[in-house]
Structure 1
Amino acid sequence: MGIRYSDNKNLEREQLVSLFKSVEWESAKYPQELQLAIANSHSVYTAWDGDKLVGLMNALSDGVMTVYYHYLLVKPEYHKQRIGATLVRMMTDKYSRCRTQVVISYSNQVNFYKNCGFIVGDDEIPLFISDLV
């Protein structure tokens, strides 16, 4: 059947939690907040194998100047199928008119994002106030 992509951001809580747990992300511990965060995102693209949520990327944006890509995750058993790269391409195409597109990446994912066209800023440093960090 193949992977199907969608831009519906009204997702079932159980599907979201299962996806976030599969990659061991802390957000899975806050199912209600996670569902609300995804629903309130500016944009969300998802990847589906039948009725199973296997990937997700969201964007927080003013829609004109800047877009921040917050979540990008793919269930581990679906890695190496270009699902993440497809989600990134869909988002970067959608926000191509924004002057700045930003992703905060963990160090082990930097090469993935470089391959998707992002560059590491020389003087940018991510800063956080969070009980999840």
Structure 2
Amino acid sequence: MMPSMAIEYTEDKRFTPEQVQRLFASAGWDSARYPERVWRALMGSDTVVSAWDGDQLAGLARAIDDGEMLAYIHWVIVDPDYRGRHVGAQLVEHMKAKYRDYMFLEVMPEESKNAPFYQRLGFTLMEDGRAMQIVHAENN
């Protein structure tokens, strides 16, 4: 499918579980195996900015925030067919604008190879910071 030129960005959560699953699968994300959970997670997130090419979900970013000081961008995902068109950067720019009055806007790239992308968009590495997590594999 040949992408068109005009990408629409919206905070309306109008995507379906099937559209989300297709997007995550297109990018090779393991989360694609759990489309209903991913969709519910998106619906429960404070902010989801999605990128649309007509009725095609081209990408999305989600953030979780505390309403005042801290917002955390958790996912930025772009369909490979739309890479190189600045869709990811536009998703992040929408988040930066939405959370401009917060003290902190943070992102934790799940892969270190993605850090330069965020650095180009104004993020800096946290001094002596380390990402930590607990994975409850049995809950997948």
- Judge same fold: TM > 0.5, yes or no: yes
| Alignment match, 1:112 | 117
Counterpart Cα distance in 1 of 2:66 and 2:19: 27
Structure 1 unaligned residues grouped into runs of 5+: none
Kept in 2, the 8 Å contact 1:10–1:39? The answer is no
Identity over aligned pairs, percent = 37
Seen in structure 2, the aligned counterparts of structure 1 residues 45 and 9 have a Cα distance that, compared at 3 Å, is same
Q: Hey, what's the Cα distance between the residues in 2 that align with 1:39 and 1:16?
A: 11
Report the residue type matching 2:17 in the other structure. R
After superposition, give the CA deviation of every residue in 1:16-73 in whole Å (9 maximum; x if it has no partner).
Answer: 0000011111111111111100000000100011100011000000121100101100
Q: Distance in 1 between matches of 2:62 and 2:113?
A: 20
The count of corresponding residues between Structure 1 and Structure 2 is 132
Which position in structure 1 is the counterpart of 2:29?
25
Kindly indicate whether the alpha-carbon contact (under 8 Å) linking 1:58 and 1:70 is maintained by their aligned counterparts in 2: yes
Is the counterpart of residue 127 in structure 1 residue 132 in structure 2?
yes
Q: Does 1:75 align with 2:79?
A: yes
Q: Please tell me the residue identity of whatever aligns with 1:69.
A: I
Unaligned stretches of 5+ in structure 2? none
Q: Deviations over 1:75-114 (max 9, x none)?
A: 0111110111111011011001111111001211111000
For normalisation by structure 1, the TM-score amounts to: 0.95
**Secondary structure of 2:74's match?**
strand
Report the Cα offset of residue 122 of structure 1. Answer: 1.7
Query: Partners in 1 of 2:121 and 2:9 — Cα distance?
Result: 18
Secondary structure at the aligned position of 1:87 is classed as helix
Retained in 1: the 8 A contact 2:15–2:57?
no
Which of 8, 11, 34 is the aligned partner of 1:4?
Answer: 8
User: Match for 2:60: what amino acid?
Assistant: L
- Equivalent residue, structure 2, for 1:51: 55
SS of structure 1 residue aligned to 2:106: strand
Structure 1 residue aligned with 2:98:
94
